[in-house]
Chain A
């Protein structure tokens, strides 16, 4: 193919695609007037162009699903994949979540075991607070043996146990030490004592 043929095809192509410049249009007009081959080539390319446009439109662009349908499906897929991404978190996130869960479980176990160890303990004397453990309502004042309220001081707790009771001790004017049971906030009743009443 000669250079003139190449240029002719290029300009005819531009003409058919609506991209021809005025100067090229003038050149093409001249060629078409004096050149039989140019006219023939124009007709061939025009036919090919029409067929190609028709083929591309009918057999490719208008085939299959419409754009709106594909977009709708895309958004649905996007929604699903977004949820999947949340569920299927990446490695670091999973590691952190596992660590946090382990920590919480450890904390929970710690408190459960600690409360189990405390159990129904005895009240401690001399001003210490002994929550959760209380003598029964029918507690009969019992004399505690021994000279003072030391570590060995014990109170008998017959029957059931009552909760939310504090224990206090005080020394009166005569020097006697008293162990006092505070059943409720604001009310106090003696639970154990030294000496005669």
Chain B
């Protein structure tokens, strides 16, 4: 089943390389979720996400003929998307890449939310995303990919170009960081009261 899907995808890539617009659209739609999650993982901001996604698509359209091995399409797409996102991040936002220190600093800066139990589900989601945005990039990327629900662990490792075990450890750490961040906020709020 997996092989069939890979062959199908390789055929689509070959067609796209020959200039088949529909094939390229199908490929991009198929990879859309994780691609968008990855770009967000680099940008940590949803504001320019559509613009960057459009740039990524344009890059794919103009560069697809340079892809030699169709089975490497996912990894190739990830590299292209990450480069485009980093380029945009550097040119537009001009803010420093959040590091682990920033994460600690953000945790200590206090929050305006109430205790975890009292938060609405929607608000909690927003807080989770805020916490994700403060993660260092390598953890943010893996967190976003894992929660986009579009890729398996092996595929995530391929996209991130790291071994599966490294990816798993990063994911565990990212989850722990996000949770610690939320708990810290709650503790801070209790202290303030």
Q: Is chain A's interface secondary structure helix, strand, loop, or mixed overall?
A: helix
Residues of chain B in range 57-85 having any CB-CB distance to chain A below 8 Å: 57-58, 61-62
Which residues of chain B have C-beta atoms less than 8 A from A9's C-beta?
172, 175-176
Which residues of chain B have C-beta atoms less than 8 A from A67's C-beta?
28-29, 32
Does B168 contact A13, Cβ atoms closer than 8 Å? yes
- Minimum CB–CB distance from A27 to chain B (whole Å) comes to 15
Which residues of chain B have C-beta atoms less than 8 A from A60's C-beta?
36-37, 40, 46, 49, 129, 144
Which residues of chain A have C-beta atoms less than 8 A from B103's C-beta?
none
Report Cα–Cα, A64/B124, bound state, in Å: 21
- Contact code string B34-56 (vs A, CB < 8 Å = 1, else 0): 00110010000010011001100
Does B172 contact A64, Cβ atoms closer than 8 Å? no
Which residues of chain A have C-beta atoms less than 8 A from B153's C-beta?
14, 17, 19
Interface size bracket, B side: 35 or more
Q: Does B126 contact A (CB under 8 A)?
A: yes
Which residues of chain A have C-beta atoms less than 8 A from B146's C-beta?
17
Partner among A10, A64, A77 whose Cβ is within 8 Å of the Cβ of B58: A77
Stretch among A68-76, A107-115, A178-186 lining the B interface: A68-76
Does A64 contact B49, Cβ atoms closer than 8 Å? yes
Q: Does A49 contact B (CB under 8 A)?
A: yes
Excluding A54-B125, A67-B28, 17 further A-B contacts by CB distance (< 8 Å) are: A19-B153, A45-B175, A45-B179, A51-B121, A52-B128, A57-B148, A59-B125, A59-B129, A60-B36, A60-B49, A60-B129, A64-B49, A64-B50, A71-B25, A78-B62, A81-B58, A81-B62
- Minimum CB–CB distance from A83 to chain B (whole Å) comes to 14
Q: Does B33 contact A (CB under 8 A)?
A: yes
B168 nearest CB neighbor, chain A only: A10
Q: Does B139 contact A (CB under 8 A)?
A: no
Q: Does A6 contact B (CB under 8 A)?
A: yes
Report Cα–Cα, A132/B132, bound state, in Å: 90
Partner among A19, A55, A74 whose Cβ is within 8 Å of the Cβ of B128: A55
Q: A60-B36, A60-B40, A60-B144 are in contact. Are A75 and B61 (CB under 8 A)?
A: yes
Q: Does B87 contact A (CB under 8 A)?
A: no
Closest 3 A-B residue pairs measured CB to CB? A55-B125, A74-B57, A64-B50
Does B179 contact A44, Cβ atoms closer than 8 Å? yes
Q: A74-B57, A74-B58 are in contact. Are A48 and B175 (CB under 8 A)?
A: yes
Does A55 contact B126, Cβ atoms closer than 8 Å? yes
Q: Does A65 contact B (CB under 8 A)?
A: yes
Q: Does A63 contact B (CB under 8 A)?
A: yes
Which residues of chain B have C-beta atoms less than 8 A from A162's C-beta?
none
- Contact code string A83-101 (vs B, CB < 8 Å = 1, else 0): 0000000000000000000
Q: Does A58 contact B (CB under 8 A)?
A: yes
Residues of chain A in range 4-52 having any CB-CB distance to chain B below 8 Å: 6, 9-10, 13-14, 17, 19, 44-45, 48-49, 51-52
Q: Does B143 contact A (CB under 8 A)?
A: yes
